[in-house]
Amino acid sequence: MPLHQISINASRLIVAGSETTATLLSGAVFFLTTHEDKLARLTHEVRSSFKNDKEITLSSVGDLTYMLACLDECLRLYPPVAGGFPRVAPKGGGMVASRFVPEGYTVSVWQWAVNHDTRFWTDPYEFKPERFLGDPRYKNDRFDAMQPFSVGPRNCIGKNLAYAEMRLILAKIIYNFDMRLADDARDWLATQKNYVLWDKPVLGVYITPIIQ
């Protein structure tokens, strides 16, 4: 493989393979520490599921259903890639969402906008992991509208690995530490801007080791 291709692929792996996961985990810590009841429920699930830290593995974290619901809700509220992947209308144009798009026009679906649209979600701006656990209040939510890993032949090939990493890291943190958000971090989300990925400020969190 030529050096320039190695360089291009390396940058893709670093940005798509690590920064996105780090971004989502930052968002998860923020939402959980600003919703103490959700954090308490997740903490109980994690600490009651394992006898020691060594039991927390890539396979065992797959049984943490509330953990997955929390991560899915974080992906909805705070998708690491908030924008969309652009596509160019083909020769002669084409139909997108029942609308004609002339040839050469660029279209994309912005994840953040879709994930906060009242046409698709009940309480779209609220952190409600229960929507992913069959809560009847959210029975009309359009879960197929949320595609943080994109969809189709160019969707993220690292989706399963990302979920496994996020579950493992968050489970390890919650099992071993108590977390509390710093007072000056309450506006952490409101101050951010997105340039493909989020421009994140420092997220201040107090962590206290737990003696198991």
pLDDT in tens, 58-95: 999 999 999 999 999 999 999 998 888 888 999 999 99
Mean pLDDT of 15-30: 87
> What share of the chain has pLDDT > 90, as a percent?
72
Distance (Å, whole) CA 84 – CA 109 = 5
pLDDT of residue 8: 77
With cut-offs at 50, 70 and 90, classify the pLDDT of residue 176.
very high
Element at 205 (helix H, strand E):
strand 205-209
Element at 87 (helix H, strand E):
strand 87-88
According to DSSP, residue 42 is labeled H
pLDDT of residue 16: 65
Tokens of 8: 């291009």
Mean pLDDT of 39-47: 98
pLDDT of residue 18: 78
Instruction: Tell me the backbone φ, ψ of residue 60, rounded to 5 degrees.
Output: -70, -30
Mean pLDDT of 161-179: 94
Neighbouring C-beta atoms of residue 20, cutoff 10 Å:
21
Architecture of domain 3-80+126-209: Orthogonal Bundle (1.10)
Distance (Å, whole) CA 193 – CA 120 = 24
Tokens of 140: 């009309």
pLDDT in tens, 96-153: 888 999 999 999 889 999 999 999 999 999 999 999 999 999 999 999 999 988 888 8
According to DSSP, residue 16 is labeled I
pLDDT of residue 150: 83
Buried b (16+ CB within 10 A) or exposed e, 123-142: ebeebbbbbbeeeeebeebe
**Predicted TM-score of the model (pTM):** 0.89
Element at 207 (helix H, strand E):
strand 205-209
Mean pLDDT of 164-171: 94
More confident residue, 125 or 5: 125
Ramachandran quadrant class, 88 (left: phi over 0; alpha: psi -120 to 50; beta: rest):
beta
Mean pLDDT of 26-55: 97
Mean pLDDT of 6-31: 83
Residue pair 176/53 in contact by the 8 Å Cβ criterion = yes
Distance (Å, whole) CA 163 – CA 78 = 15
- Domain ranges within the chain, ordered by starting residue: 3-80+126-209
Mean pLDDT of 27-42: 98
Torsion on CA atoms 167, 186, 192, 164, rounded to nearest 10: 0
With cut-offs at 50, 70 and 90, classify the pLDDT of residue 15.
low
Distance (Å, whole) CA 129 – CA 132 = 6
Distance (Å, whole) CA 24 – CA 206 = 19
Distance (Å, whole) CA 74 – CA 163 = 12
With cut-offs at 50, 70 and 90, classify the pLDDT of residue 56.
very high
